[in-house]
């Protein structure tokens, strides 16, 4: 699961020329979710917590103190938009490969419906402490924003060693944390 987080003065999403979501000061979050079992509820919870906790806003009492407040501290809003292109594989050739990205195309199987619900849960309920409008999953959207700063971050749930898989193992090795050997193996695997 990948996310691009931008600190914004405002942001909006339009579908077929109609604005369907709009926020003022807050965070614009583009979210890409992998198909299959790669992204779990733990990934959603981990990224949600990280996004809501990121201190990317200045202190309201002393604006010279940058990086002091998170989106909840400033009573900001979060606009989440599903963006499958974040999962694209661009290693081979010049055409992006979207086979690992969850999309609405194809058969609407139970796992796919579960994934769509998971995306919508991320877009709405998972960030319940903030005002959270969202985009429309699977729609062609026009996204407009005024990036403050500019301040932009990328997060990938696969890079958080504390994200556990179903068996209690983290993605890099053991239940306690990654071993040196597993880190080297992971680095080697991603380098090829």
Q: Which residues are catalytic?
A: 83-85
Assigned domain for 172 exists = no
Residue 100 CA to residue 43 CA, distance in Å, equals 16
Q: Which domain holds residue 54?
A: 2-160
Assigned domain for 178 exists = no
Q: With b meaning 16 or more CB within 10 Å and e meaning fewer, what string describes 128-146?
A: eebebbbbbbeeebeeebe
Assigned domain for 145 exists = yes
Residue 122 CA to residue 144 CA, distance in Å, equals 21
Assigned domain for 165 exists = no
CATH code of the domain containing 108: 3.50.80.10
Cβ 78 vs Cβ 132: under 8 Å? yes
Residue 3 CA to residue 32 CA, distance in Å, equals 6
Identify the three-state secondary structure at position 125: helix
For the chain, what is the domain count? 1
End-to-end CA distance of the chain: 21
For residues 182 and 13, the model is more confident at 13
Report residue 160's pLDDT band, with 50, 70 and 90 as the boundaries: low
Assigned domain for 118 exists = yes
Mean pLDDT of the chain: 72
For residues 137 and 68, the model is more confident at 68
Rg (CA), the chain: 18
| Mean pLDDT (whole number) for 98-121 | 53
Is pLDDT at 183 greater than 50 in this prediction? no
Cβ 182 vs Cβ 172: under 8 Å? yes
| Mean pLDDT (whole number) for 163-174 | 49
Residue 75 CA to residue 29 CA, distance in Å, equals 16
Is pLDDT at 23 greater than 60 in this prediction? yes
Is pLDDT at 109 greater than 70 in this prediction? no
Assigned domain for 184 exists = no
Poorest-pLDDT segment among 44-48, 53-57, 169-173: 169-173
């Amino acid at each position: 699961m990948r996310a691009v987080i931008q600190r914004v003065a405002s942001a909006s999403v339009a579908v077929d020329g109609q604005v369907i979501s709009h926020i003022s000061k807050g965070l614009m979050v583009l979210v890409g979710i992998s198909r299959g079992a790669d992204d779990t509820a733990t990934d959603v919870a981990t990224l949600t917590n990280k996004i809501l906790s990121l201190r990317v806003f200045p202190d309201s009492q002393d604006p010279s103190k940058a990086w002091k407040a998170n989106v909840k501290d400033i009573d900001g809003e979060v606009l989440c938009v599903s963006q499958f292109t974040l999962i694209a594989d661009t290693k081979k050739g010049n055409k992006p490969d979207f086979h690992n990205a969850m999309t609405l195309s194809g058969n609407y199987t139970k796992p796919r419906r579960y994934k769509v619900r998971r995306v919508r849960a991320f877009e709405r309920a998972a960030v319940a402490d903030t005002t959270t409008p969202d985009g429309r999953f699977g729609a062609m959207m026009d996204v407009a924003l005024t990036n403050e700063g500019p301040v932009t971050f990328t997060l990938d749930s696969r890079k958080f060693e504390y994200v556990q898989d179903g068996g209690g193992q983290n993605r890099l090795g053991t239940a306690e944390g990654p071993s040196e050997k597993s880190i080297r193996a992971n680095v080697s695997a991603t380098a090829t």
